[in-house]
């Protein structure tokens, strides 16, 4: 984990696009090391939205009325990520929704940090959700609203988990 690099946490929400309901980016939130919001916009994905996935995404038709077009948002987001350590949970899905190869980025992913899982007494698991890590290590109850996830809340949780992981490694 890079310690002298600026850090930004990212979380994205997706909707189903096209006849096969492929994931299209509908909201992206970025927060800094303190959890302050750097970016939080609803994004109009390319293609026809065929499933808003509201129960999980929190996205509704109304959010899309004034949403930023995907091509514009993508450039804004990638500019903010450039040269920074990108923190998140299962980031491969977020980068896929951005149509961006994540191999050119410095990444810290809570979904693959086994030391963090061990701290949460979840070493036996094959996959660990951000919700469970947040409950166990932060005492936070996230992703439990009937109106869907909050990408800001999820990005903040990932950032706090990153900070815990850094403290564990510094012991």
Dump pLDDT digits (tens) for 46-60. 999 999 998 888 899
Cβ pair 68, 41 in contact under 8 A: yes
Specify which residues 108 forms β-bridges with.
Answer: 87
pLDDT of residue 148: 62
Q: What is the pLDDT of residues 24-50, one digit of tens each?
A: 999 999 999 999 999 999 999 999 999
Specify which residues 107 forms β-bridges with.
Answer: 86
What pTM was computed for the model? 0.92
Nearest to 119 by CA among 140, 141, 134: 134
pLDDT of residue 124: 80
As to burial, measured by CB atoms within 10 angstroms (0-12 exposed, 13-18 middle, 19+ buried), residue 60 is middle
Cβ pair 11, 37 in contact under 8 A: no
Q: Which residue has the higher pLDDT, 124 or 130?
A: 130
Query: In 75-128, where do the E strands start and end?
Result: 85-88, 106-109
Length of the chain, in residues? 171
Q: What is the pLDDT of residues 56-91, one digit of tens each?
A: 888 999 999 999 999 999 999 999 999 999 999 999
Cβ pair 152, 37 in contact under 8 A: yes
80 sits in which H/E element: helix 70-81
Cβ pair 27, 13 in contact under 8 A: yes
Enter the DSSP assignment of 156.
H
């Amino acid at each position: 984990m890079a310690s002298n690099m600026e850090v930004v946490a990212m979380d994205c929400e997706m909707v189903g696009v096209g006849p096969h309901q492929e994931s299209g980016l509908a909201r992206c939130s970025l927060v800094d090391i303190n959890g302050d919001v750097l970016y939080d916009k609803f994004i109009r994905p390319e293609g026809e939205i065929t499933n808003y996935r509201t129960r999980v995404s929190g996205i509704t038709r109304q959010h899309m009325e004034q949403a930023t077009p995907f091509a514009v948002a993508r450039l804004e987001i990638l500019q903010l990520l450039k040269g920074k350590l990108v923190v998140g949970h299962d980031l491969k899905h977020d980068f896929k929704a951005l149509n961006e190869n994540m191999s050119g980025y410095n990444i810290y992913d809570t979904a693959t940090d086994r030391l963090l899982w061990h701290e949460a007494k979840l070493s036996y698991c094959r996959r660990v959700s951000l919700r469970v890590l947040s409950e166990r290590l932060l005492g936070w109850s996230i992703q439990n609203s009937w109106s869907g996830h909050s990408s800001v809340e999820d990005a903040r949780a990932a950032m706090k988990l990153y900070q815990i992981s850094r403290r564990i490694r510094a012991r």
